[in-house]
C-alpha cells in the first residue's frame, strides 16, 4: 500500500509510514517576504548547465521526471547558501487541477499554478544520490514557480513528450534538453533548510526558491493533466493532478533572502 495524493493515502496520512512528516524541517513552507532575513553574506547562485546531458523522461506515478547523467560534475549548482557544488540529478513538476493552485511553496499565503523542482546532490561529501538524499546537507533543490499567461517558448519540448509517458512506470529517451531554458530572468531567491516534499520526506534539502516565476499557458499546463497516476494495466484511471504537498510548519527556522 503506497503513498499518493488521494484522500486515504495523501499528505495528511504520510506521517503513519513516514513519521518525519511531523519533523522540524519539513517542506514546503509558506514564504513571507517581509519576514525573510536579507543576508548580505548570501552571494548569487551559479547554474553551470552548459555540459548537462539529459537522459530520459519518466512517469514515476507521482510526477513527470527528466533525469540527467550525474556520473561527473558536468552540470552543477554552486554559490548562494551552498558550501560545495551540487550535481544536477533530475527535475520534475507539481501542479493543481484546472484553474486551482498547484505549487508547493506559497508566497504570503498565495500559491502559483505549478512549481518546478530542479534536484541536485552533494557529490563532494556523498558517494551516491541515495546517501546524499538521506543526509542533512545532501541535496539542493531549486524551486521555480510557474504562473499562467502566454505560452512558454520552450516548455513545448517537455509537453510534446508527455504522451510517451502517460502511465506510471513508463520512460522514454529524452536527450539534449537543457533546463537553463526554464529559468526566469532573475536568479534572486529565498533559501531555507527543509526536506523532500514527498516520501521518504528526508530532511536533506537546502531549498533555493526563485522569486521570479516563469510564465506558461493554461493549455501547456493542461497537457500535464493528461498524465495518469496509475499504470497502463490498472483498471482505476486516475488523472495526474494536485500532486502537491501543502505548506508545513516553519518551526524554529528562518528564511533568508538574497540581495
Ligand atoms: N519534491 S522534491 O523536490 O522535494 C523531491 C526530490 C527528490 C525526491 O527523490 C525521491 C527520493 C527517494 N529517495 C530515497 C533515498 C534513499 C532511500 C530510499 C529513497 N531519495 N529521494 C523526492 C522529492
Ligand atoms: Zn518536487
What contacts 25, CB < 8 A, 6 or more positions away?
193, 194, 195, 203, 251, 253
pLDDT at res. 52: 97
For CA atoms 33, 36, 40, 43, give the dihedral sign: negative
Position 156 scores a pLDDT of 98
The pLDDT tens digits of the residues spanning 216-252 come to: 999 999 999 999 999 999 999 999 999 999 999 999 9
Q: Which residue has the cell 548537462?
A: 52
CA of 40 to the centre of ligand 1 (A): 31
Interval 81-98: pLDDT, tens = 999 999 999 999 999 998
- Contact predicate 56/173, CB 8 Å: yes
Mean pLDDT for all residues in the chain: 97
Please check whether residue 86 is in contact with residue 75, taking contact to mean a CB–CB distance below 8 angstroms: no
Indicate if ligand 1 lies below 6 Å from the C-beta of 197: yes
Residues of the chain above pLDDT 90, percent = 98
Q: Which residues surround ligand 2, an ion (CB under 5 A)?
A: 117
Nearest-angstrom CA–CA distance, 127 and 49: 21
Structure confidence at residue 100 (pLDDT): 83
With a 6 Å cutoff on the Cβ, whether 170 touches ligand 1 is no
Query: Is the CB of 123 within 6 Å of ligand 1?
Result: no
Q: How many CB atoms lie within 10 A of CB 65?
A: 20
Of 170, 146, 142, the C-alpha closest to 227 is: 170
The pLDDT tens digits for 96-115 are 998 789 999 999 999 999 99
- CA torsion 68-69-72-76 (nearest 10°) is -10
pLDDT score of 259 more than 90: no
Closest by Cα among 141, 191, 187 to 38: 191
Does the beta carbon of 141 lie inside 6 Å of ligand 1? yes
The pLDDT of residue 83 is 97
pLDDT, position 111:
98
Which pLDDT belongs to residue 99? 77
Atom 6, ligand 1: residue with shortest CA distance: 196
- The cell numbers describing 42, all together, are 548570501
**pLDDT of 191:** 98
208 - beta bridge partners?
A: 142, 191
Query: What are the strands, taking DSSP E only, across 111-252?
Result: 114-121, 139-148, 171-173, 189-194, 205-210, 214-216
Give the closest residue (by CA) to ligand 1 atom 5.
196
Q: Which of 116, 106, 65, 113 lies closest to 242 in space, CA to CA?
A: 113
Does the predicted model carry a pTM greater than 0.90? Answer: yes
Which of the following is catalytic: 62, 92, 120, 152? 62
pLDDT at 98: 87
Ligand 1 atom index nearest CA of 196? 4
209 lines ligand 1 (CB under 6 A): no
Contact 142, 210 (CB under 8 A): yes
* pLDDT tens, residue by residue, 142-182: 999 999 999 999 999 999 999 999 999 999 999 999 999 99
Find the 150 Cα to ligand 1 centroid distance in Å: 32
Give nearest CA residue, ligand 1 atom 8: 196
Contact 10, 228 (CB under 8 A): no
The confidence band for 116, taking pLDDT boundaries of 50, 70 and 90, is very high
Cα of 129 from ligand 1 centre, angstroms: 9
Is 202 among the residues known to form the active site?
no
Is the pLDDT at 187 greater than 80? The verdict is yes
Task: Encode pLDDT of 19-58 as tens digits.
Answer: 999 999 999 999 999 999 999 999 999 999 999 999 999 9
Distance (angstroms) between ligand 2 centre and the Cα of 209 equals 12
User: In whole angstroms, how large is the CA radius of gyration of the chain?
Assistant: 17
Beta-bridge partner residues of 216: 148
Bond before 28 cis per omega within 30 degrees? yes
Ligand 1 atom with minimal separation from the 63 CA: 1
CB 63 within 8 A of CB 189: no
Amino acid at each position: 500500500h503506497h503513498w499518493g495524493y488521494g484522500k486515504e493515502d495523501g499528505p495528511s496520512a504520510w506521517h503513519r509510514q513516514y513519521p518525519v512528516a511531523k519533523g522540524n524541517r519539513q517542506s514546503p513552507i509558506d514564504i513571507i517576504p517581509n519576514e525573510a532575513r536579507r543576508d548580505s553574506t548570501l552571494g548569487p547562485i551559479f547554474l553551470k548547465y552548459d555540459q548537462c546531458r539529459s537522459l530520459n523522461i519518466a512517469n514515476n506515478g507521482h510526477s513527470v521526471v527528466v533525469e540527467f547523467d550525474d556520473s561527473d560534475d558536468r552540470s552543477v549548482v554552486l554559490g548562494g547558501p551552498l558550501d560545495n557544488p551540487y550535481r544536477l540529478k533530475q527535475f520534475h513538476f507539481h501542479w493543481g487541477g484546472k484553474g486551482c493552485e498547484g505549487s508547493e511553496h506559497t508566497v504570503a499565503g498565495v500559491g502559483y499554478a505549478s512549481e518546478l523542482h530542479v534536484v541536485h546532490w552533494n557529490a563532494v561529501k556523498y558517494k551516491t544520490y541515495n546517501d546524499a538524499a538521506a543526509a542533512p546537507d545532501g541535496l539542493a533543490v531549486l524551486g521555480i514557480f510557474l504562473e499562467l499567461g502566454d505560452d512558454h517558448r520552450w516548455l513545448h519540448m517537455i509537453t510534446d513528450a508527455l504522451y510517451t509517458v502517460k502511465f506510471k512506470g513508463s520512460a522514454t529517451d529524452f536527450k539534449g534538453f537543457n533546463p537553463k531554458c526554464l529559468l526566469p530572468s532573475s536568479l534572486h531567491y529565498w533559501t531555507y533548510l527543509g526536506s523532500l516534499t514527498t516520501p521518504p520526506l528526508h530532511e536533506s534539502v537546502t531549498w533555493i526558491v526563485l522569486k521570479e516565476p516563469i510564465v506558461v499557458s493554461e493549455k501547456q499546463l493542461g497537457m500535464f493533466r493528461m498524465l495518469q497516476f496509475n499504470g497502463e494495466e490498472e483498471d482505476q484511471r486516475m488523472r495526474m493532478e494536485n500532486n502537491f504537498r501543502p505548506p508545513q510548519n516553519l518551526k524554529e527556522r528562518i528564511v533568508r533572502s538574497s540581495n
